[in-house]
Structure 1
Amino acid sequence: MNPIRITIALACSYFVFAIMLNSVGTVILQAINSLDVSKTQASVLEGFKDLSIAIVSFLVASFIPRIGYKIAMLGALLLVAVMCLVVPSIADFWVLKALFAAIGCSFAVMKISVYSVIGQVTDNANKHSALLNTIEGVFMLGVLSGYWIFALFIDADDPQSSHWLNVYYLLAAIVAVAFFSVLAAPIKSPELKANQQSQLHDFIDMLKLTYQPLVLIFIVSAFMYVLIEQGVGTWLPTFNNQVLKLPVDVSIQLASLFAAALALGRLVAGQVLRFISWFSLLMGCLLAMGVLVLLVLPLTHDVDGSQVKSVFDVPFAAYMLPLIGFFMAPIYPLLNSVMLSSLAKHKHAAMTGLIVVFSALGGTTGSIITGFVFDKFSGQHAFYLTLVPIALLLITVSIFKKITLKPQYQAASSAE
């Protein structure tokens, strides 16, 4: 087995999906501008993406090993490539819905395959963690690249033009590179166990977990976090364009600061956790998020960035709002880590299923609520609304901490 070729294939595939998945905010803005849809209508794109991830990841998790990871990855990339070629020729909102449904389905297959293949090319926990972090780092690089790739195809002087859809021809070419890298990679078919559990059995195991108080409060916390992240991240390009009056291309480029802030926040949190407890860090981050929202949003009133030509000329408030991502960044990984370490190892797969499902539901809910409030009231009202889930998270994280101190969860953690 050639681990380098496999690593390249995994990295290329994740890079592609990082661009696709996180383009939803940009596509929502452009659908509003060029396809004549309302903000409420455009917000459903998040649902087509997230719900397909949740449903497909659950349905196919136990089936993918039977067909082989390589075939599954090739099939996922092929579907996305075909949809990328179809979108510019049709140029209608319904095909964007179909595109994000295809992206969600394909990413569910890809994520399960990639995480499983990483185990094939690593032989100890340190190497596994190192490769996984490398792949996730490439994912974040794809997120940042995506904003700039889309901005290249948008005419700031004619934002109503549908020529921006030609970006999907370039994306199809990038997907093709990933496809051939996977094709060339010596990815092994998994060895199947004779006593492998059925999908029904896996589903029942997952449902049983929800009866545990710790899992229930975790689900609420994860749901609230993703509601905030997707609500802000998805609608930030539209906020920059319609509230701050920035040109479309600059609005999208500026939104990349949110992804950069998330990446930096997670790197910094890894170092800070050497000195303070996870609970102290989470509470501090939540309070900082609330303060930032209250301080920055009043600065966005009466801002007119219509004369701005580049990201270096934008008003101060436009730089500050994406920084909420810096304080938001550590919350989700920390909650997941504490939750999984509080359960026995044989329950991790079922718990991961719950994480994926409720994260997807939270993302969809956040985008739709934010889009509705943005449409009916204003962008400021929509972003002020994030104070509600932030306040609820302060409560649920406190309860979460209290439950993890119970003897049965501390015993599970020490058994790990």
Structure 2
Amino acid sequence: MKNNKILFALFLIYFVFAILLNSVGTVILQVISNYGISKSAASVLEGFKDLPIAVVSFLVASFLPRIGYKKAMLIGLAIVTFACMAMPLAPSFATTKLLFFCVGVSFALVKVSVYSTLGLIAADRKQHASTMNLLEGFFMLGVLSAYWVFGYFIDSHNPLSQSWLHTYWVLAALCALTFLLVLSTSFNESLAAPPEGRGLVEDFAAMLKLFFKPLVCVFIITAFLYVLIEQSIGTWLPTFNNEILKLPAAMSVEVTSIFAACLAAGRLSAGVLMRKLNWYPVMNGCVLGMAAMVLLALPLTHDVIADPHITWATAPLATFLFPLIGLFMAPIYPGINSVMLSSLPKHQHSAMTGLLVIFSALGGTTGSLITGYVFGNFNGHFAFYLTLVPISIVLLMLYFFKREVDQSGGGFDAAAIISGQH
């Protein structure tokens, strides 16, 4: 019963941060209209979110067990509660940048704490992997909700309207509620204690040493590239829908929820597929499927004619086809995370998650900045075609990842870990 309350608190935390983190694309669309910001300037919002995640993770992940996971979660939730309140009270592009900076700092504390807490309450690898899949699936439900929550407050008929800022009152209330839930929940963090006699410098050195293991290095590169692709598409899809497919602002955001729904569906169903098939060929198939969707859907987005009376029934086919790329992307991230974390002792989960968070954040920023630059200086078609480059590299890195997993002698079934059956 105690663990169920902890899990509920962790899931709610992830739900809240899913909305905040994945609102970047929607917010970019709104600040371009409200504050007259260029696409290249607006793309820095991803950096204000992701770079603090990377820096804070690098600085605190190794000794976060000494601070306490519960305290770290409470600090993160308190920061984003006040940051959300600031958005409607002091509307400006500077406040928007401050919001995402606060979200980045907070998520660094929260993600390392949540992932590490999962390791503490999981009885075995099967439970760990199952809970990881549920957590990531719940995260995607938060992402899906974000598009509709923001879409509800957006006024498509008045591009200069700031009604969308009312969304942040809802988010501030949700953050405060989650804070109270975590505060009232007791955590047993004794198993996360680092080895006796080891100081902060040794903790930090141990995290850095992890990176130089071949398996960890290949894993980090693969995760970096995956997040680069996902954020490139997820962040700029609302703007792509609005400018290339000529959809109204609110509909552009709501349609992007198809992408999030596909990620959620693919992530939750991946375990079923992995029960019968080996993870490596399935992931290769997923990567090839991603490339196929890019090549199939993007040619359909050329020469779209604006229709002031457009509806979901009359929207271009590409509106619904391209977001299906999420189905193929979904299994990759939780899959490699489960394989990696399940092979480490509990006291190393914080450091390993720190490395994962750092390079995931860098991947997200890199993807958004490159796509924003290409979108603004060339066109949206070329920006999304460009994702074929990292997709091709991911296919290559999965080969090296499998080879290192096999050579590491990890005596576990990766496919079973992903599906929660080991």
TM-score (norm: length of structure 1)? 0.90
For residue 107 of structure 1, what is the amino acid of its counterpart?
A: F
Q: d(CA) in 1 for partners of 2:343 and 2:180?
A: 40
Preserved CA contact (<8 Å) 1:341 1:413:
no
Shift of residue 179 of structure 1? 2.0
Which residue does the alignment assign to 2:55? 55
TM-score (norm: length of structure 2)? 0.89
SS of the residue corresponding to residue 61 of structure 1 reads helix
Change in CA separation of 1:199 and 1:234 when aligned onto 2, cut-off 3 Å: farther
Which residue does the alignment assign to 1:286? 287
Which residue does the alignment assign to 2:257? 256
Which residue does the alignment assign to 1:389? 390
Q: d(CA) in 2 for partners of 1:45 and 1:12?
A: 24
Shift of residue 393 of structure 1? 1.8
Q: d(CA) in 2 for partners of 1:49 and 1:235?
A: 15
For residue 410 of structure 1, what is the amino acid of its counterpart?
A: G
SS of the residue corresponding to residue 100 of structure 2 reads helix
Shift of residue 347 of structure 1? 5.6
Which residue does the alignment assign to 1:321? 322
Preserved CA contact (<8 Å) 1:69 1:190:
no
Q: d(CA) in 1 for partners of 2:346 and 2:75?
A: 31
Q: d(CA) in 1 for partners of 2:35 and 2:140?
A: 29
SS of the residue corresponding to residue 149 of structure 1 reads helix
Which residue does the alignment assign to 2:416? none
Q: d(CA) in 2 for partners of 1:196 and 1:238?
A: 53
Which residue does the alignment assign to 2:247? 246
Q: d(CA) in 2 for partners of 1:389 and 1:379?
A: 17
Shift of residue 348 of structure 1? 5.1
Which residue does the alignment assign to 1:202? 203
Preserved CA contact (<8 Å) 1:80 1:102:
yes
Shift of residue 132 of structure 1? 4.3
Task: Map 1:178-257 to 2 at 5 A.
Answer: 178-188=178-188, 190=190, 195=196, 197-257=198-258
Preserved CA contact (<8 Å) 2:53 2:108:
yes
Which residue does the alignment assign to 1:38? 38
For residue 322 of structure 1, what is the amino acid of its counterpart?
A: P
Change in CA separation of 1:374 and 1:281 when aligned onto 2, cut-off 3 Å: same
Q: d(CA) in 2 for partners of 1:7 and 1:405?
A: 32
Residue 368 of structure 2 corresponds to residue 367 of structure 1: yes
Q: d(CA) in 2 for partners of 1:393 and 1:194?
A: 36
Change in CA separation of 1:55 and 1:244 when aligned onto 2, cut-off 3 Å: same
Change in CA separation of 1:109 and 1:344 when aligned onto 2, cut-off 3 Å: closer
Q: d(CA) in 2 for partners of 1:176 and 1:412?
A: 43
Which residue does the alignment assign to 2:94? 94
Q: d(CA) in 2 for partners of 1:361 and 1:113?
A: 19
Shift of residue 279 of structure 1? 1.8
Q: d(CA) in 2 for partners of 1:196 and 1:146?
A: 45
Change in CA separation of 1:126 and 1:337 when aligned onto 2, cut-off 3 Å: closer
For residue 157 of structure 2, what is the amino acid of its counterpart?
A: D
Deviations 1:150-203 (A, max 9, x none): 011110101222231121112111212212222332345657567263343233
Which residue does the alignment assign to 2:409? 410
Shift of residue 93 of structure 1? 1.0
Which residue does the alignment assign to 2:69? 69
Which residue does the alignment assign to 1:148? 148
Which residue does the alignment assign to 2:159? 159
Q: d(CA) in 2 for partners of 1:49 and 1:152?
A: 24
Structure 1, 338-347 or 270-279: larger mean CA deviation: 338-347
Preserved CA contact (<8 Å) 2:62 2:207:
no
Percent of residue pairs identical:
53
For residue 87 of structure 1, what is the amino acid of its counterpart?
A: M
Shift of residue 236 of structure 1? 0.5
Q: d(CA) in 2 for partners of 1:110 and 1:349?
A: 11
Q: d(CA) in 1 for partners of 2:127 and 2:280?
A: 28
Q: d(CA) in 1 for partners of 2:121 and 2:237?
A: 38
Structure 1, 216-225 or 257-266: larger mean CA deviation: 216-225
Shift of residue 320 of structure 1? 0.7
Q: d(CA) in 2 for partners of 1:8 and 1:188?
A: 16
Preserved CA contact (<8 Å) 2:116 2:353:
no
Preserved CA contact (<8 Å) 1:12 1:181:
no
For residue 146 of structure 1, what is the amino acid of its counterpart?
A: A
For residue 292 of structure 1, what is the amino acid of its counterpart?
A: M
Which residue does the alignment assign to 1:273? 274
For residue 169 of structure 1, what is the amino acid of its counterpart?
A: W
What runs of 5+ residues in structure 1 fail to find an aligned partner? none
For residue 384 of structure 1, what is the amino acid of its counterpart?
A: Y
Which residue does the alignment assign to 1:296? 297
Q: d(CA) in 1 for partners of 2:199 and 2:210?
A: 17
Preserved CA contact (<8 Å) 1:15 1:138:
yes
Alignment root-mean-square deviation, CA: 2.6
Which residue does the alignment assign to 2:9? 9
